[in-house]
Amino acid sequence: MFLWTFIGGGLLGIAGGLLTTLLIVVLRGGSNASVVLLFSALSCFFIAEHLMNVSGIMAVTFAALLSRHMLRHHQQELLSSALTSIDWLGVLLNAILFMLMVLVVTYDMFAERWLAMLIAIAAGLVARFASVSISAQLARLAGHRIDWRWQLVLSWGGARGAVAIALVLALPASLPYWWTIQSIVFALVLFGLLAQGPTTCRLATRLTLKP
């Protein structure tokens, strides 16, 4: 099931990216490209989650990466104009998601699920450090050495945000332990915002890395 969800989402994203690229090239114009990109992201996510039961995030990610790669030479100016023109939408949607989180967060979450929150934060940090370290070792085998200081900054700077909030708010209340899962995700996001975010730049400076 995991392989189908992951790979199926990627394949759908590749198909969506090819179609998106074709439409942008044919229609041209920054406004047209903005509409195509927005429609592509929404349609890829909807088809993946509700029609094919695969990962919507993987579908959107692959579609975006493929479109950017295919348009990087001939349509770079057009693509940059389109991305700039829809930046306001990303800011707006992020603001809405965080407002929803504020409305849902309660004191009872911290009073009753504090242990689960602490375990999740610790597990998230360990997983992040492990993933960065493993990726760095694989890069080293390929001939690209990543300084341990950058590994530390990448590990500590792995804050969670809008995507995690959107996913957890979509959980049905009938799902067992949904409230615990929601509490854990909110704790991870708040920890990223209040602890990791404000200190990442200071950590990079202390390690003599230019932020």
Q: What is the pLDDT of residues 135-166, one digit of tens each?
A: 999 999 988 888 888 899 989 987 777 888 88
The reply to whether 7 falls in a domain is: yes
Q: Evaluate if residue 11 carries a pLDDT over 90.
A: yes
Compute the distance between CA of residue 68 and CA of residue 80 in angstroms, rounded to an integer: 10
Structurally, the chain folds into a number of domains equal to: 2
The reply to whether 110 falls in a domain is: yes
Whether residue 126 sits in one domain with residue 70: no
Last residue of a domain, one of 30, 59, 85: 85
- For the ranges 67-76, 107-116, 171-180, 200-209, the one whose mean pLDDT is highest: 107-116
In this structure, which amino acid lies at residue 134? I
Average pLDDT over residues 81-103: 75
The reply to whether 154 falls in a domain is: yes
Last residue of a domain, one of 25, 55, 85: 85
66-88 core/surface letters (b: 16 or more CB in 10 A; e: else): bbeebbeeebeebbeebbeebee
The reply to whether 36 falls in a domain is: yes
Residue 210 confidence (pLDDT):
58
Whether residue 164 sits in one domain with residue 122: yes
The reply to whether 157 falls in a domain is: yes
CB-based contact 169:100 (threshold 8 Å): yes
Whether residue 125 sits in one domain with residue 32: no
Whether residue 56 sits in one domain with residue 124: no
Whether residue 117 sits in one domain with residue 67: no
Last residue of a domain, one of 57, 85, 113: 85
Q: Evaluate if residue 169 carries a pLDDT over 90.
A: no
DSSP class of 49: I
The reply to whether 145 falls in a domain is: yes
The reply to whether 123 falls in a domain is: yes
Whether residue 109 sits in one domain with residue 190: yes
Average pLDDT over residues 39-63: 91
Q: Which two tokens stand for residue 210?
A: 């230019």
Whether residue 199 sits in one domain with residue 107: yes
Q: Which of 122-126, 138-142, 170-174 has the lowest mean pLDDT?
A: 170-174
- DSSP H or E stretch at residue 17: helix 2-27
Whether residue 106 sits in one domain with residue 73: no
Residue 87 confidence (pLDDT):
66
Whether this prediction's pTM lies above 0.85 is answered by: no
CA 155 to chain centre: 15
Domain that holds residue 75: 2-85
Q: Across all residues in the chain, what is the average pLDDT? A: 85
The reply to whether 95 falls in a domain is: no
Q: What is the pLDDT of residues 96-110, one digit of tens each?
A: 888 888 888 888 989
